[in-house]
Amino acid sequence: MKFFVDTAMLDEIRDLAEYGLLDGVTTNPSLIARSGRDFKETVAQICAMVDGPVSAEVAATDAPGMIAEGEVLAALAPNVVVKLPTTLDGLKACRHFAGQGIQTNLTLCFTANQALLVAKAGATYVSPFVGRLDDLNLDGMALIRDIRTIYDNFAFDTQILAASIRNANHISAAAIAGADVATAPAAVIRGLIRHPLTDAGLATFSADWAATGQSIL
Ligand code: E4P
């Protein structure tokens, strides 16, 4: 499974890239607003730092506006993925970009039917929002499983990008459910390696090694 980091913060992206844990980046208007940075400049900088796909979301809600904005975003760098809302206008824009060979990420997907339409429109990625469904006491991971089944039934090549990932359990569950990609905050990705028994075991090994008085070098 590929990992994308869900952020507009360059230092977080740089840090994860150093661990080899980064396959791409997703941003959204809320993350850009939180960063306080210029949108297009930030996207161009991220694209220069990361080899993989970088999702940049349009602001327009009508198809002609999405197409116009998406073309500006796609021109920023070859690894830009135009992020579009999962609406009828979004499908129209998605079809347009698929015809141009420009990658798309259809965001704010909450049902299997939406995911079916997104795949038929030729999206590169669909982003089902797991955490926001869980917030409503619904089962976000069941949606990932349903989309996997539908895409496999019809051999759609749209990739399932599990989004709104909030914790480590979401990542492993998305991997088991067959998501192609998970996008998560940097802290969630970094936290996957941690286990108290790893820390305790390492502390014991270090103390026992020190007691031997030996040196490997
Ligand atoms: C994905 O592309 C979204 O930017 C993101 O995963 C949303 O996460 P949230 O529901 O935690 O805001």
63 half-sphere exposure, CB direction, 13 A CA radius: 11
Amino acid of residue 133: L
Q: Which atom of ligand 1 is nearest to the CA of 132?
A: 10
Ligand 1 site-directed mutation target among 83, 180, 183, most atoms within 8 Å of CB: 183
pLDDT at 135: 98
Output the CA 107–ligand 1 centroid distance in Å.
Answer: 9
Tell me which long-range contacts 109-113 makes (C-beta under 8 A, separation of at least 24).
110/86, 110/143, 111/143, 112/143, 112/146, 112/147, 112/150
- Whether 28 is in the pocket of ligand 1, judged by its Cβ within 6 Å, is yes
Output the CA 129–ligand 1 centroid distance in Å.
Answer: 7
- Whether 185 is in the pocket of ligand 1, judged by its Cβ within 6 Å, is no
Output the CA 163–ligand 1 centroid distance in Å.
Answer: 6
Q: Which atom of ligand 1 is nearest to the CA of 184?
A: 6
Output the CA 185–ligand 1 centroid distance in Å.
Answer: 9
The predicted model scores a pTM of 0.96
The band of 190, judged by pLDDT with boundaries at 50, 70 and 90, is very high
The band of 180, judged by pLDDT with boundaries at 50, 70 and 90, is very high
pLDDT, tens digit, 9 for 90 and up, residues 156-171: 999 999 999 999 999 9
- Whether 143 is in the pocket of ligand 1, judged by its Cβ within 6 Å, is no
Q: Tell whether ipTM is more than 0.90.
A: yes
Average per-residue pLDDT for the chain = 97
Please, what are the domains in the chain? 2-212 (3.20.20.70)
pLDDT, tens digit, 9 for 90 and up, residues 104-152: 999 999 999 999 999 999 999 999 999 999 999 999 999 999 999 999 9
pLDDT at 187: 96
User: Which DSSP state fits 50?
Assistant: -
Kindly state the average pLDDT of the residues 169-176: 98
pLDDT at 55: 98
The DSSP string of 151-217 is: HHHTT--PEEEEBS--SHHHHHHHHHHT-SEEEE-HHHHHHTT--HHHHHHHHHHHHHHHHHT----
107 with 91: CB under 8 angstroms?
no
Q: Burial, 37: exposed, middle or buried (Cβ in 10 Å; 0-12, 13-18, 19+)?
A: middle
5 strand-pairing partners: 25, 184
CA–CA separation, 140 vs 93, rounded Å?
Answer: 26
pLDDT, tens digit, 9 for 90 and up, residues 10-68: 999 999 999 988 999 999 999 999 999 999 999 999 999 999 999 999 999 999 999 99
Active-site amino acid positions: 83
pLDDT, tens digit, 9 for 90 and up, residues 192-216: 999 999 999 999 999 999 999 999 9
